[in-house]
Structure formats: C-alpha cells, structure tokens
Amino acid sequence: MNNDSSQLQRGLKNRHIQLIAMGGAIGTGLFLGSAQIIQSAGPSIILGYAIGGLIVFLIMRHLGEMIVEEPVAGSFSHFAYKYWGKFPGFITGWNYWVLYILVAMTELTAVGKYINYWWPQIPAWQSVLFFFVVITAVNLTNVKFYGESEFWLAIIKVTAVVAMILFGLFLLFTADANSTASFSNLWSHGGFFPHGFDGLFYMLAFLMFAFGGIELIGMAAAEAKDPKTTIPKAINQVVIRILVFYVGSLAILLSLVPWNQLDLGGLDKSPFVMIFSQMGIGWAAHLLNFIILTAALSVYNSGMYANSRMVFGLAQQGNAPKVFTKTNKQGVPVPAVLLSAFLIFGCVLLNYFVPEDALGHLMYVVVGALVLNWAMISLTHLKYRSHIKKAQIKTSYPALWSPFSNYLVLGFIAVVLYIMWQQGFKESVLMIPIWIVFMFIFYKFLNRKTEN
C-alpha cells in the first residue's frame, strides 16, 4: 500500500460520471418505496416527485459550484471544513458516511425482497450475504473497474425504465374497451388528489428518500477526468432525468392500472412489478424485477464507493485515523473500503434477526441523515459564497438563485422534519440533535488527544 494520499486516480471518464449520477438517483426509493406513497397520495405522487426533484436540483447546483472549482476527495466535507470550520467539516463527513452505510444497508435489504419474488423459499439474509461479498470485491478493484461496473448496472436500469415507459405508452395507445389502461386513471378515481393535498403533503418526507444518492457526483469529482466539463454536464441533466425517470415513469404506470386497484400490500412489493403482473403480462413483471434488482445493486455499489472515499477524505483532514489514507497500487483506499464493508455486514445480521421490519426501519432512519446532509450542503454553500464574494472570485458554474435557493432548500427541509414528526417518526427527528451532540463530544475527544 501507498501512504501518499494523491494516489487516488482520475480513472472516471465522462460516461462513468454521467451514469454514476444517473445510477445514484434510480434505486429502491423509486421502485419499492413508492408503493406506500401511491397508497397515500394516489396520482398526485407525480407532482410530489416533481417538487422533490426541483429541491434536489437546487442542492446539486449548490454542490456543483463548489466542486467544479475544487474537485477534491471528501467533497462537501472538505468545503465545510475549509469555509465553515473544523467541526462542521467533521460532522458533515461522518454524517455522510453513516448515511451511506444506511443507504447501502437499505438497498442490500431490498435485494433480498427482489430475490424472494422468484424464490420465496430463500431466506433474505442468504441473498444479502451473497451480494455483499460480490459488491465488496468490486470495490476492492481499481476505480476504473468500479466505474465500468456502475456504468453497465446503470445502463441496464436506465434502458429498462425508458423501455418500460415506451411499452406503457404502446399499451395505452392500443388499449381496447376491456382494458384498464387509460390516461383518465390519473384523475378518474377520486381525482388527482384522492385524499386531498394532505395525502401528498404528508408523504413528501418519504418521497425524498428516492433522491438520496444523487449527490454522488460530488464524491466522484476527485477521480473524474476533466471535472470542469463533466460535473456541470452531469448536474444539468438531473432535471431531465427526474422528469423522465420519476415523473414520466409514474405517470405512465399509474395510467395503466387505477391506483386504487393496485395490490401493493406495503413496502415489500414494487408497484412497477405489480402493475404488469395485474395486467397479466407476466414476462414484463419478471423482466422488471430483474431490472429493479440491478438498480438496487447499482445504488449499493455506489454507496460502498462513496463511503470509502469519504473516509479517505476525513483521514486526509485528520478527522479519521491516518490508516484510511492508504491506497494500493491501483489507487483504491483498501482500509476505507474494508471499514465500510465491516459495518454494512450488519445488514446481513439485521435480515437474519428481523427480516420483516428491516427495510421499513432503515428507510425512515435514512431520511433523517439525508436531510441533515442536504442542509449541510446548502449551509456550507452560503459560507462558500460569502468567502468568494469577499475575495471577489467569479466561479465558472454559479448556483441558481443563491442565496434565495439556499433558504428555499432549508425551509423545505424544515417542512420534511415537521412531516416526520407528525407522522409518527419522532425518533428519526430526535436522532438528529442527539447525533450532532454525540459527534461534537467525539470531535472534542479526538481533538483533546491530538493536543496532548
């Protein structure tokens, strides 16, 4: 291994960055998590994803302005550390790391559900263990191999979602009188807001889970070739992706079968699979389940990558043990990958002991860590803007409508926390201040040891 932290290699090409960005945004939150939201919000889920997408795009532009100027390992933790202070940098980095441990565990748990669709007799923990070993092995190879694996996993799901939309349109335009398929399903069964605006409003918090992972572009910046070109291109296409993959796919699918006739039965079933299954198109349901399986593996793969690079960045700052700055000859931070893998292994145990509740618990905890992560990005960006204004620096990729957009994002995050509190997830909200206090004590402890 090599102690030189510069050994991270710029092995990610433009096509890798594009697909990493796309891959991070299409996973369990859309394919599996949307089941509960459809039951509560009906067709208005489409508007919900459009609102969530706008907020996420603004956050991405905040992050984008900073990373295009300084494409470094550790991404927004580096910026919080540099422009805000040591503790904000410390908590931003560790929160992101914990977030992606949880995201990886969530996606891995979902993999067990998808395998059970075909083979219900296989215990979830066995599927989880198998794919845990495979993805860990992928992340221990060089970054080009990671980029290539993510490229093809993402290609599969992106192609599938587009094909599903086109097939859905074909079914809609060729529907006969006996078919359930009709665009009128979007407003005929209780209206676009069947449970009123409240039905959508109280789902906004859980809908945001689907967008977790979209900021992976920031983590890939340190290993991107020509980041000043590839990063803005990837971020600008976020809007198009959200419109196509979230808004477009759900609009088509909810037109095929009335939302109130879907047999979803909770978090365990994918509305995408169930729609084609109920229409009697078995081959499409099986194909879609395979696609969704690759989607979960893709986000898990990306999560493992993001985790290792964040620990690497934290170690460079002195906020994690120096052993995590070590890389092998291929530029892979092996100790950082193994640390993340060790904790993600907890997912195997979770699925062994509580397979029924594992996914639900993980998704709600993730949302708490996710909103703190997004809030830190927008707050850090405000500090960054203040710095460049004083230094009279003009950036090449300025954020949209800043500082108004920063306050809009922070206001939306406050609304998400209010929703979680009202909807019976007070534990997730209370965990945020407890986590901040815990991290502050940990930070002080580490600093005291350093001073001594």
Structure tokens at 28: 């369990």
* pLDDT tens digit sequence for 183-237: 999 999 999 999 999 999 988 887 887 787 677 776 666 667 777 888 888 788 7
Report the C-alpha gap between 307 and 426 in whole angstroms: 27
Give yes or no for residue 10 having a pLDDT over 80.
Answer: no
pLDDT for res 191: 93
Query: What 3 state SS string does the chain have?
Result: CECCHHHCCCCECHHHHHHHHHHHHCCHHHHCCHHHHHHHHHHHHHHHHHHHHHHHHHHHHHHHHHHHHCCCCCCHHHHHHHHCCHHHHHHHHHHHHHHHHHHHHHHHHHHHHHHHHHCCCCCHHHHHHHHHHHHHHHHCCCHHHHHHHHHHHHHHHHHHHHHHHHHHHHHHHCCCCCCCCCCCHHHHCCCCCCCHHHHHHCCHHHHHHHHCCCCHHHHHHHHECCHHHHHHHHHHCHHHHHHHHHHHHHHHHHHHCCHHHCCCCCCCCCHHHHHHHHCCCHHHHHHHHHHHHHHHHHHHHHHHHHHHHHHHHHHHHCCCCHHHHCECCCCCCHHHHHHHHHHHCHHHHHHHHCCCCHHHHHHHHHHHHHHHHHHHHHHHHHHHHHHHHHCCCCCCCCCCCCCHHHHHHHHHHHHHHHHHHHCCCHHHHHHHHHHHHHHHHHHHHHHHHHHC
Its domain, for residue 388, covers 12-445
The reply to whether 4 falls in a domain is: no
Q: By the 8 A CB rule, do 78 and 313 touch?
A: yes
pTM of the model: 0.84
* Mean pLDDT lowest among 5-14, 66-75, 351-360, 409-418: 5-14
Give yes or no for residue 111 having a pLDDT over 80.
Answer: yes
The reply to whether 165 falls in a domain is: yes
The reply to whether 1 falls in a domain is: no
Of the two residues 416 and 3, the one the predictor is more confident about is 416
pLDDT for res 194: 94
* Mean pLDDT lowest among 73-77, 133-137, 270-274, 443-447: 73-77
pLDDT for res 413: 95
The reply to whether 7 falls in a domain is: no
Report the C-alpha gap between 424 and 427 in whole angstroms: 8
Of the two residues 258 and 7, the one the predictor is more confident about is 258
The reply to whether 163 falls in a domain is: yes
Angle at 375 between CA 292 and CA 202, to 5 degrees: 60
The reply to whether 241 falls in a domain is: yes
* pLDDT tens digit sequence for 396-433: 999 999 999 999 999 999 999 999 899 877 878 888 89
Per the structure, the count of domains in the chain is 1
Average pLDDT for 34-38: 78
pLDDT for res 165: 87
pLDDT for res 267: 47
Average pLDDT for 66-91: 85
Residue 300 binned pLDDT confidence (cut-offs 50, 70, 90): confident
* pLDDT tens digit sequence for 158-191: 788 888 889 889 989 998 878 888 999 999 999 9
Average pLDDT for 334-352: 84
Give yes or no for residue 93 having a pLDDT over 60.
Answer: yes
Average pLDDT for 337-360: 77
Q: Residue length, the chain?
A: 452
Per the listing, tokens 């997730």 go with 428
Structure tokens at 91: 């908590």
Q: By the 8 A CB rule, do 33 and 246 touch?
A: no
* Mean pLDDT lowest among 12-21, 166-175, 310-319, 405-414: 12-21
pLDDT for res 288: 80
Distance of CA 244 to the CA centre of its chain: 17
User: What are 12's strand-pairing partners?
Assistant: 224
The reply to whether 210 falls in a domain is: yes
* Tally of CB atoms within 10 A around 383: 15
Of the two residues 331 and 389, the one the predictor is more confident about is 389
Report the C-alpha gap between 31 and 292 in whole angstroms: 7
CATH code at position 354: 1.20.1740.10
